[in-house]
Chain A
Amino acid sequence: MMRPGTEHELAQMVAGAAGPLRIIGGGTRSYGVALGEVLSTAGLGGVTLYEPGALTLVVQAGTPLAEVEALLAREGQCLPFEPMDHRGLLGTQGTPTIGGVVAANVSGPRRIAAGACRDFLLGVRFVDGMGRVLKNGGRVMKNVTGYDLVRLMAGSHGTLGVLSEVSLKVLPVARASATLALEGLAPGRAVEALARALGSPFEVSGAAHVAAGQARTLIRLEGFAASARYRAERLCRLLAEFGDWQVLPEAGDLWRGVRDVSVLGDGDVWRVSARPSDGPALAALVPGAVAVFDWGGGLIWLAVPEGTDLRAALGAFDGHATLIRGAPDTKARLGVFAPQAGPLAAIAAGLRARFDPRGILNPGLMSPPEERPA
């Protein structure tokens, strides 16, 4: 295993690599179908700069997420995109890193209000497939100087470069929150209620429906105490036709449950991104699936029998499905990421070929099966 301690060492190792590299963050098992010698970023730790008054944090990519969150918490701040902890779902151990979070653009329930990980990423430093140290963006809130490779790197799953440093915008933790909860709605009605809430001026920061066991619909409001109370009251009235909503002052556990989809049981787990109002009908195409609807219905987590080809079951729709948990042969057969339309796939392949001409960074992870190395 390669374990560089500095960006410079990282660059040298990549430049000198003889074959494919499998990039991992904090030692949680890497997923998908990437093969090759393991390159761990765990040695690249530490905070470069933290200015709470400017809401900016610059940190080495291998820094454990928990360390970042603890540092921010001391100043009453947080990563607003609420990254999930996959360990329960995937049954893996280890320490998720901030670089892994960025590389997978991991974003939780607050995405609908605050934005995704990519929306809080201000700058990156990374090493491309030739071992060149590159940077893009910076540490300021607004920056349109040149192309936006910052967001391109978020969600590129280590296929375009190995991140060495990321700068992030952070936000103060909300002083108070209130959660509206209602049991027993069918998914279609629940998503209607969530849409009504999200279409109101009351700044909903979480809108989920958990359709496992006793179905439960959850709507979160955050901000100052009086304001959260006021908005909760208004929303209860606005949504009265759906039922008698309960207002919970503290529902952190419930939202962590939504974030980490802790109710999903056995089987393969898929993550479907869709038009919110299409969510319930899509989920209904897979009888017996356990579903968690987040983002007002736009993100659907589905637990299905092992080996199910969910993309075939769903047919064509406005969105895509990613296989998060499944046996290696299922991942190899179906691909982790949905295939893209031919011409777009060609552009994506063209980008990978330019960032990584030797094709050594997580080869095959994001490419269609036919382009994968045997």
Chain B
Amino acid sequence: MEMPEPRADIIAQKARIVARLTDALPEGTIISDAAETRAYECDALSAYRCAPLAVALPRTTEEVATVLRLCHEMRVPVVPRGAGTSLAGGSLPTADCVVLGVARLNEVLETDFANRFIRVGAGRTNLSVTGAVEADGFFYAPDPSSQLACAIAGNIAMNSGGAHCLKYGVTTNNLLGVTLVTMDGTIHKIGGAHLDAGGLDLLALICGSEGQLGVVTEATLRILPKPEGARPVLIGYASSEVAGACVSDIIKAGVLPVAIEFMDRPCIAATEAFSGAGYPDCEALLIVEVEGSPAEIDEQLAIILDIARRHDPVELRESASEEEAARIWLGRKSAFGAMGQMGDYMCLDGTIPVSELPFVLRRIGELSGEFGLKVGNVFHAGDGNMHPLIIYDANTPGEQEKCEALGAEILKLCVEVGGCLTGEHGVGIEKRDLMGYQYSPEDLDIQMAVKDAFDPGWLLNPAKVFPLASSAARRMAAE
């Protein structure tokens, strides 16, 4: 993956830049020693790494504003960072940048159960938001698998989803307000504890903007009362066509499961070997989970099982206890780990119309054969968000390039059938140069014009999201 040439004039002034920042901020905020900044050289797309000029770890919104104001004055690029779990290289530094980490802004600032919201520092981890309200019977719905580590800041910047988003939506559907600092150091409050921000929907623009419009320091999040209970069923089919048809019929029937997860044969085989969850030997497996009181769960599952039976399943497994439910989820939850045992992997994230599932799975199988790389599929079937996992060996010369080429083919396929490049992981550097497959030059230009309005100098995370060639003129003009 190509990155722009770092600016030699900035690197040459490192000492002065670090000194100005250090002088303006409390001790321990700025680190520039190579050994200390090592932890910030990459995110979860760890094939790519780069040492930044310095790292700033402020504790307050005002300190964030100071860092940005000074960097703006000195024309130094800034890469915002939450927990560094991005799979797309969103928080990958450049050699001429200051990484601005918000992990220290992690306090709970306000909880309000009558109005059902929580306000937190953006560095707070996703899981600990739920942790702060669950004793009172509430939870924060978006639940990325990385929720133990990832920060709300990164969730907002990537508009992250999770296993339960079929029912509860993704980050943007659960975000009520933010405090945002723009590159010039101005502090903005957008939205709040009420449902609609006034004026243009700037909150929606911030959500999913990958750290390119401003730095989020605080977030007001909607919290929901916990359901009375939940229960999964497992359904096995002899073909992915039939499994796909079953998913479509469930959705149409008016039951709203919290999750419909799909695994294909390569993935089932890998998780069986790894976790011994006792999954059936079949082509496609669905896990469908519903929520409510025991009677409501029975009512919904009766409808789902009835639909499932009409499609002639090879296996239908209900859960009568917590333990049986956990066994149904065991293989799914260990899927990434299991695939990881088979080698290095790259996790794709394209979304397709649910109706195209069988065709896309077949094509991925063919492409996997052509490239000679194993691909396992485990994904959120209810919303068509695929997660093909390509297995490769990073130590074999040329294999990573081959894996990236296969990944690109699969993502193009997603776009061709009416879908998109990324459903929840974001573009970052990983899908940056594929954007032209989904969008015309004009479509990309209007998006870049949005960045112009927030960050005219193109200093915030400038090398991401847009193909380098399309953003070149703007990045150069800013220099």
Contacts and interface: CB of A to CB of B under 8 A. Distances in A.
Contact of B253 (A172, A275, A347): A172
Contacts of B186: 343
Nearest to B186: A343
A361 to B, nearest CB: 13
B79 interface: no
Interface string A33-65: 000000000000000000111111000000000
A74 interface: no
Interface in A209-227: 223-224, 226-227
A295 to B, nearest CB: 6
Interface stretch (A137-145, A177-185, A241-249): A137-145
**Most B-side CB within 10 Å, residue of A160, A199, A353:** A199
Given A148-B172, A198-B116, A354-B453, A142 B226 contact: no
A128 B351 CA distance: 27
Nearest to B247: A53
Interface string A191-207: 01001001111000000
26 contacts: A54-B248, A54-B251, A54-B354, A54-B355, A132-B442, A140-B384, A140-B419, A142-B351, A142-B384, A144-B158, A144-B423, A145-B422, A152-B202, A154-B204, A156-B200, A195-B115, A199-B225, A201-B225, A223-B296, A226-B299, A274-B194, A320-B198, A343-B188, A344-B202, A351-B450, A354-B453
Interface string A304-336: 000000000000001110100000000000000
B409 interface: no
B355 A140 contact: no
Contacts of A173: 254
Contacts of A366: 199-200
A322 B449 CA distance: 28
A55 B251 contact: yes
The bracket for how many chain B residues form the interface is 35 or more
Contact of B453 (A53, A135, A351): A351
Interface string A55-92: 11000000000000000000010000000000000000
B418 interface: yes
Contacts of A156: 200-201
A299 B351 CA distance: 35
B197 to A, nearest CB: 8
A319 B199 contact: no
A34 B51 CA distance: 52
B169 A115 contact: yes
Contacts of A145: 420-422, 427, 431, 435, 438-439
B355 A146 contact: no
Contacts of A200: 225
B353 interface: yes
Interface of A: 51-56, 76, 105, 111-112, 115-116, 118-119, 128, 132-136, 138-152, 154-156, 159-160, 171-175, 192, 195, 198-201, 223-224, 226-227, 230, 273-277, 295, 298-299, 318-320, 322, 337-338, 340-341, 343-345, 347-348, 350-351, 353-355, 366
A54 B353 contact: yes
B295 A230 contact: yes
B382 to A, nearest CB: 8
B198 A337 contact: yes
Nearest to A344: B188
Contact of B443 (A136, A151, A354, A355): A136
B3 interface: no
Nearest to B384: A140
Interface stretch (B35-43, B205-213, B262-270, B335-343): B205-213
**Most B-side CB within 10 Å, residue of A132, A142, A154, A318:** A142
**Most B-side CB within 10 Å, residue of A145, A159, A345, A353:** A145
A148 B159 contact: yes
A142 B299 CA distance: 28
B426 A227 contact: no
A160 B446 CA distance: 11
